[in-house]
Copies of this chain bind each other. A is one copy, B any other.
Amino acid sequence: MSQVFSATKMRHRARKNFDAGQQLCVRLEVKPTTLALENDTLPTDIEPTEPAAKPRIRDAEATKARILDAAKKEFAKNGLGGGRVDDIAEKAKANKRMIYHYFGSKEGLFQTVLENAYVDIRTAEQKLKLDHIEPKQALEKLVRFTFDYYLKNPEFITLVNSENLHRAKHLKKSEVVKVYSRKFVSMVENILERGVATGVFRAGIDPVQLNITIAAIGYYYMTNRFTGSIVFERDLMAKEALEERLRFNIDTILRLVAP
């Protein structure tokens, strides 16, 4: 009857196996985890899931990181509105209070997650060092990278979609993102200029429009992979389908910039 659970587990149970009118009583019987051993003689049917007094180590940075990671997954899966703070805390193996301590609110947490996501992709793009590669190859590499990045980081797409549903109110506040974006645009601008000079690209192409198009042909394919697979009656995520799409995308962009 009086099995000992960790307090967290208990709360979880109380929520799932809800028995109207009793939940409060059950909760109040529970003692904090660390005090559990103060009770008098314990029954023998206790499972020793918690070997001894676990020497809990404190690490603010690690906890923050775990929360951010869990939040990224949760928001990516369910959006900002559908994401649950309780679930994030549980997945991060952190107390919900910590989330409010470090990030202030659910929206504050979302903003940090989103900001990090943008910094991540922009950083990865800078690492490509496209300025040092021949223009045509640089462009192909960028198309390939963009497609692969969306493929391997589908959370990025879902987070951005969520943010657009909220009219970019969180991103507006971020100054870092603007700095990174400027660098990115000028990178593509540089490729175009070099290509025009060599005569491999035609002149007069707006780097922003080109950027948008490169992102679009990959982004749309990924974000609509579920409805797309139904509408077009083929598995858009099959290996061959992905390879075919990437080839098509590279072809599209190279034809677009060709003289």
Contact = CB atoms under 8 A, between A and B. Distances in A.
Contact of A211 (B163, B182, B232): B232
Interface string A205-224: 01011011101110111011
Interface in A27-83: 77-82
A19 interface: no
Contacts of A228: 212
Nearest to A205: B248
Nearest to A163: B227
Given A230-B172, A230-B177, A252 B256 contact: yes
Secondary structure class of chain A's binding surface, majority of residues: helix
A125 to B, nearest CB: 12
Interface in A166-205: 167-168, 171-172, 177-178, 181-182, 185
B165 A158 contact: yes
A209 B248 contact: yes
A255 interface: yes
Contact of A230 (B77, B178, B255): B178
Interface in A124-141: none
A177 B233 CA distance: 11
Nearest to A207: B232
Interface in A228-259: 228-234, 244-245, 248, 251-252, 255-256, 258
A230 B115 CA distance: 13
B208 A234 contact: yes
B164 A213 contact: no
A116 interface: no
A160 interface: yes
Interface of A: 77-82, 158, 160-161, 163-165, 167-168, 171-172, 177-178, 181-182, 185, 206, 208-209, 211-213, 215-217, 219-221, 223-234, 244-245, 248, 251-252, 255-256, 258
Counting from the closest, the 3 A-B pairs by CB-CB distance are: A81-B82, A216-B220, A168-B226
29 contacts: A79-B82, A80-B82, A160-B227, A163-B227, A168-B226, A171-B226, A171-B230, A172-B230, A178-B230, A178-B233, A181-B230, A181-B232, A181-B233, A206-B244, A208-B232, A208-B234, A209-B244, A212-B220, A212-B232, A213-B252, A215-B220, A216-B216, A216-B217, A216-B221, A219-B224, A220-B220, A252-B252, A252-B256, A255-B258
